[in-house]
Chain A
Amino acid sequence: MAIIQVSQLKKSFGTLDVLKSVSFEVNRNDVVAVIGPSGSGKSTMLRSLIHLEQVNGGTIRLLDQDLVREGVYASPQQIKQITAKMGMVFQHFNLFPHLTVRENLELAPRTVKGEADEIVRRKSAELLEKVGLSDKADNYPARLSGGQKQRVAIARALMMDPEILLFDEPTSALDPELTGEVLQVIKQLAKESMTMMVVTHEMGFAREVAGKVMFMDNGEFIESGTPDEMFGNPQFERTRAFLQKSLK
Chain B
Amino acid sequence: MSAEYILNITKPMLEGAQMTILLFLVAIVLAIPLGFVITLLAKSSIKAVAWLAHAYVYVMRGTPLLLQLLFICFGLPLLPIVGEYLVFDRFVAACIGFVLNYAAYFAEIFRGGLLAIDKGQYEAAQVLGFSKWQTTTKIILPQMFRVALPAVSNESITLVKDTALLYAVAVPELLHYAQTAVNRDFTIVPFFIAGVIYLVMTLLLTLFFKWLEKRFKFE
Contact = CB atoms under 8 A, between A and B. Distances in A.
Interface of A: 50-52, 80, 83-84, 86-88, 90, 92, 94-98, 107-108, 111-113, 140, 142-143, 156-157, 160
Given A52-B127, A94-B121, A98-B143, 20 more contacts: A52-B123, A52-B126, A86-B127, A88-B123, A90-B123, A90-B124, A92-B120, A95-B124, A97-B218, A98-B216, A107-B128, A107-B138, A107-B139, A108-B128, A108-B130, A112-B128, A112-B130, A112-B131, A140-B218, A142-B218
Nearest to B122: A94
A111 B124 contact: no
Contacts, number: 60
Contact of B128 (A52, A98, A140, A160): A160
Interface of B: 118, 120-121, 123-124, 126-131, 134, 138-139, 142-143, 146, 216, 218-219
Most chain-B Cβ atoms within 10 A of its Cβ — which of A80, A97, A143? A97
19 contacts: A51-B126, A52-B126, A84-B129, A86-B127, A87-B127, A88-B123, A90-B123, A94-B121, A94-B123, A94-B124, A95-B124, A97-B218, A98-B216, A111-B134, A111-B138, A112-B129, A112-B134, A156-B128, A157-B127
A108 B126 contact: no
Contacts of B218: 97-98, 140, 142
A143 B127 contact: no
Nearest to A160: B128
Contacts of A90: 120, 123-124
A83 B127 contact: yes
B129 A142 contact: no
A113 B142 CA distance: 21
A157 B123 CA distance: 13
Contacts of B124: 90, 94-96
B219 A142 contact: yes
Nearest to B139: A96
B79 to A, nearest CB: 47
A109 B134 CA distance: 12
B143 A80 contact: no
B65 to A, nearest CB: 33
